[in-house]
Amino acid sequence: MADSPSSTELQQNSNEDMLELNKDLERMIEDVENISVQLTWMAYDMVVLRTSPELEESMRRLDEAYLNCRVAVCGEHDQEPEMDKCPEENATPQTDM
Protein backbone atom coordinates (compact mmCIF):
# COMPACT_ATOMS: atom_id res chain seq x y z
CA MET A 1 0.00 0.00 0.00
CA ALA A 2 3.01 2.26 -0.37
CA ASP A 3 1.69 3.40 -3.79
CA SER A 4 -1.65 4.68 -2.51
CA PRO A 5 -1.73 8.34 -1.45
CA SER A 6 -2.51 9.14 2.13
CA SER A 7 -5.87 10.62 3.14
CA THR A 8 -4.26 14.02 3.85
CA GLU A 9 -2.80 14.12 0.32
CA LEU A 10 -6.19 13.21 -1.14
CA GLN A 11 -7.88 15.90 0.94
CA GLN A 12 -5.26 18.46 -0.07
CA ASN A 13 -5.70 17.58 -3.77
CA SER A 14 -9.45 17.75 -3.33
CA ASN A 15 -9.19 21.21 -1.74
CA GLU A 16 -6.97 22.44 -4.58
CA ASP A 17 -9.43 21.05 -7.12
CA MET A 18 -12.31 22.79 -5.35
CA LEU A 19 -10.44 26.11 -5.34
CA GLU A 20 -9.69 25.73 -9.05
CA LEU A 21 -13.32 24.86 -9.75
CA ASN A 22 -14.54 27.86 -7.73
CA LYS A 23 -12.22 30.19 -9.68
CA ASP A 24 -13.48 28.78 -12.98
CA LEU A 25 -17.10 29.13 -11.91
CA GLU A 26 -16.57 32.72 -10.74
CA ARG A 27 -14.96 33.59 -14.07
CA MET A 28 -17.83 32.00 -15.99
CA ILE A 29 -20.41 33.81 -13.87
CA GLU A 30 -18.64 37.12 -14.46
CA ASP A 31 -18.56 36.47 -18.22
CA VAL A 32 -22.26 35.65 -18.25
CA GLU A 33 -23.03 38.78 -16.22
CA ASN A 34 -21.07 40.90 -18.69
CA ILE A 35 -22.94 39.35 -21.61
CA SER A 36 -26.22 39.96 -19.81
CA VAL A 37 -25.36 43.64 -19.32
CA GLN A 38 -24.44 43.99 -22.99
CA LEU A 39 -27.69 42.34 -24.07
CA THR A 40 -29.66 44.61 -21.75
CA TRP A 41 -28.06 47.73 -23.24
CA MET A 42 -28.66 46.42 -26.77
CA ALA A 43 -32.33 45.81 -25.98
CA TYR A 44 -32.60 49.25 -24.38
CA ASP A 45 -31.04 50.89 -27.44
CA MET A 46 -33.43 49.02 -29.74
CA VAL A 47 -36.45 50.07 -27.71
CA VAL A 48 -35.34 53.70 -27.57
CA LEU A 49 -34.67 53.86 -31.31
CA ARG A 50 -37.96 52.17 -32.20
CA THR A 51 -40.05 54.29 -29.88
CA SER A 52 -38.24 57.52 -30.78
CA PRO A 53 -36.95 57.44 -34.38
CA GLU A 54 -36.10 61.15 -34.23
CA LEU A 55 -33.46 60.26 -31.63
CA GLU A 56 -31.32 58.68 -34.34
CA GLU A 57 -31.50 61.86 -36.43
CA SER A 58 -30.70 63.93 -33.35
CA MET A 59 -27.65 61.78 -32.57
CA ARG A 60 -26.44 62.11 -36.18
CA ARG A 61 -26.77 65.91 -36.01
CA LEU A 62 -24.97 65.95 -32.66
CA ASP A 63 -22.13 63.90 -34.11
CA GLU A 64 -21.87 66.28 -37.09
CA ALA A 65 -21.82 69.28 -34.72
CA TYR A 66 -19.05 67.66 -32.71
CA LEU A 67 -16.98 67.07 -35.84
CA ASN A 68 -17.54 70.68 -36.99
CA CYS A 69 -16.47 72.00 -33.58
CA ARG A 70 -13.42 69.76 -33.61
CA VAL A 71 -12.42 71.11 -37.02
CA ALA A 72 -12.95 74.69 -35.79
CA VAL A 73 -10.86 74.16 -32.65
CA CYS A 74 -8.20 71.77 -33.88
CA GLY A 75 -8.09 72.57 -37.56
CA GLU A 76 -8.31 70.17 -40.47
CA HIS A 77 -6.80 66.71 -40.17
CA ASP A 78 -4.10 67.75 -42.68
CA GLN A 79 -2.71 70.40 -40.34
CA GLU A 80 -0.29 68.49 -38.13
CA PRO A 81 0.91 71.19 -35.66
CA GLU A 82 -2.58 72.15 -34.45
CA MET A 83 -3.65 68.52 -34.08
CA ASP A 84 -1.11 68.11 -31.30
CA LYS A 85 -3.25 70.39 -29.14
CA CYS A 86 -6.35 68.19 -29.48
CA PRO A 87 -6.91 64.75 -27.99
CA GLU A 88 -7.12 61.79 -30.30
CA GLU A 89 -10.51 61.37 -31.91
CA ASN A 90 -10.59 57.69 -30.97
CA ALA A 91 -10.09 58.57 -27.30
CA THR A 92 -13.53 60.21 -27.11
CA PRO A 93 -16.00 57.63 -25.81
CA GLN A 94 -19.07 57.40 -28.00
CA THR A 95 -22.08 55.18 -27.55
CA ASP A 96 -23.50 53.44 -30.58
CA MET A 97 -27.19 53.93 -31.02
Task: Single out the residue of 29, 48, 52, 51 nearest to residue 40, CA to CA.
Answer: 48
What's the whole-number mean pLDDT along residues 18-42?
94
Yes or no: say if 74 and 87 are a contact pair by the CB < 8 Å rule: no
DSSP at 86: S
- The model's pTM: 0.42
Residues 37, 32: Cα–Cα separation, whole Å? 9
Query: DSSP letter string over 9-69?
Result: HHHHHHHHHHHHHHHHHHHHHHHHHHHHHHHHHHHHHHHHHHH-HHHHHHHHHHHHHHHHH
Structural domain boundaries of the chain? Answer: 1-51, 53-97
Say what the pLDDT of residue 83 is.
46
User: What's the pLDDT tens digit per position in 59-95?
Assistant: 889 999 999 998 888 877 655 444 455 655 555 445 5
